[in-house]
A and B are shown apart, each in its own frame.
Chain A
């Protein structure tokens, strides 16, 4: 079965299944969403208007047995940043979409009538159905109602109240294999889906399978690849402690943004650390290891129970825990877990919303450390769409403007995540130059700045940071196109069998002769495509900057500032 483009026009309420244009054929995941958005979306359009398009694409290897290949890319022009956006997530959608023979879903237009809809995709095509029952409901209720409505194991992508309200921090939630949620969190893509009045999308691949040109070669390459992943000690640590193993090491390095980015260390770090979380999960009978999609051999996810030993949340990530924890000075993991669950239910980005909460604390809305207050505001204000709730739900930048603050940690209006760029300078280059606003996943220099993976570059000096960020951003753009989870990068940076095996799988799947160099050029061209979109949308080099306070307020304990000149930052684009 050759893959097709499934197109949905919400203005006319019509759908079609189209051949894949030749120039899109070699793309998948982020490469494809960005290529399509760049080709079809007017860069100056309003992100919530009819000219924006929501593009959903599985990676090139999604739907196959390749380890860790089930990540989905969702793209559009972002209502949060105004830039091009790709947000990457796990869950079952990528695999089932690929098995349904779908290269990408393109959703365009907005309905004329004030009605809500759902989309149902099968290998035959996609249908638009009016939805009434689930409007105004949170994501968990959507999942449970759909469980009884749908036959078989279908993938579900859904928005909560935040998406319906078109809040700029709204995410798109994706069902995981156990009925939990994973999120295409960043950049407000849930608001784009909400603007198109789509509450949820279901995917039923029937008995569809992904065609592999050379199955034997594929299997063999996957064996080498999976072994490289499993053997890497970092993969093992991720399985045991989750990504939250980072709290203590980033704190130790003095780069854990605390109290709305005024310190690099948090007194309560131990209470919210991966080590404590691991022990708590064991004690309460949760799951230490869990995967966001079948076929993941690393299993960084987990199921966290409350004190009554009932499931509270899953996929409890370092960045969410840092944001609600250190950044808001909440040192109670149960409050953070409850906030995480509420945010998953409302369908709002845990990073953006929690950083917004930290800014709101500085603005006097509530006290730093008030975890119960955070949960209350999420439930009573954000979920219901009160004026305060909408300000917070529009992200850290919106809160900063509403309260007249200057310490507002955003780049291109997207909240800076869990690593302070004054103490870990490489990540500052990534935040500044990323085509999508501040995002650690775009070029994870923490690997080399802090974790000694792929060599080491001193986090506190400027030396080598631009090159490090560039190399990682290029590699990441390529990896994000394969459907691979980014955590393959640790093995890829350290084990020389890993990347060639990945390239072999691409070749075996599509009957190609790609080399490592082709993968690098793919990454470069994706970054250039994204940047060209942003330039046409009005962004210039002057937008590739961190907020002023990072240049002027030294961060304890190292008491350093971010000190790259504009010219130094600009050299990032020399390729």
Chain B
């Protein structure tokens, strides 16, 4: 199935901003994070289709996964 992966802040460095990927059914968010070589410890926020998700959340057809490092402001 196809999903869109979006990266933010320094996670984009030598990776990408957004990419479409073909992935096997049942792939979890954590597996995607690992496959990108992103240290799970550095991940601050995960969202699938604009809702907060976790490493063990399972991706669905055509979903949009956003991966952010720990960031803040205000």
Contacts and interface: CB of A to CB of B under 8 A. Distances in A.
Nearest to A486: B74
A458 B69 CA distance: 19
B73 A300 contact: yes
B69 A233 contact: yes
Contact of B72 (A234, A441, A460): A234
A244 B9 CA distance: 11
A438 interface: no
A467 interface: no
Nearest to B73: A243
A244 B42 CA distance: 20
Interface string A151-177: 000000000000000000000000000
Given A252-B66, A253-B50, A237 B9 contact: yes
Contacts of A456: 52
A248 interface: yes
B74 A241 contact: no
A446 B66 CA distance: 17
A558 B51 CA distance: 9
Interface string B21-49: 00000000000000000000010110100
15 contacts: A233-B69, A233-B70, A238-B72, A243-B73, A245-B72, A249-B45, A252-B47, A274-B9, A275-B9, A300-B73, A447-B72, A447-B74, A451-B45, A452-B70, A456-B52
B50 A245 contact: no
A490 B52 contact: no
B73 A245 contact: yes
Contacts of B71: 234, 237-238, 241, 245-246, 249, 451
A295 B10 CA distance: 26
B72 A237 contact: yes
Nearest to B74: A444
B44 A452 contact: yes
A266 interface: no
B45 to A, nearest CB: 6
A458 B72 contact: no
B50 A238 contact: no
A299 to B, nearest CB: 13
Interface residues of B, number: 21
A237 B69 contact: yes
Interface in B47-74: 47, 50-52, 66, 68-74
Given A233-B42, A240-B9, A452-B44, A254 B50 contact: yes
A557 interface: yes
A411 B23 CA distance: 47
A311 interface: no
A275 B12 contact: yes
Given A233-B42, A233-B69, A441-B74, A458 B10 contact: no
A233 B44 contact: yes
Contacts of B16: none
A253 B49 CA distance: 8
Contacts of A270: 17
A300 B69 CA distance: 17
Nearest to A236: B70
A300 B72 CA distance: 10
A242 B17 CA distance: 19
A243 B10 CA distance: 15
Contacts of B8: 248-249, 252, 275
Given A234-B72, A446-B74, A452 B45 contact: yes
Interface in A219-262: 232-234, 237-238, 240-246, 248-249, 252-254
A451 B44 contact: yes
- CB-CB nearest 7 A-B residue pairs: A243-B73, A234-B72, A233-B70, A237-B71, A246-B73, A254-B50, A245-B71
Given A237-B69, A275-B9, A458-B52, 9 more contacts: A232-B70, A233-B44, A240-B9, A246-B71, A249-B8, A252-B68, A253-B50, A452-B52, A459-B52
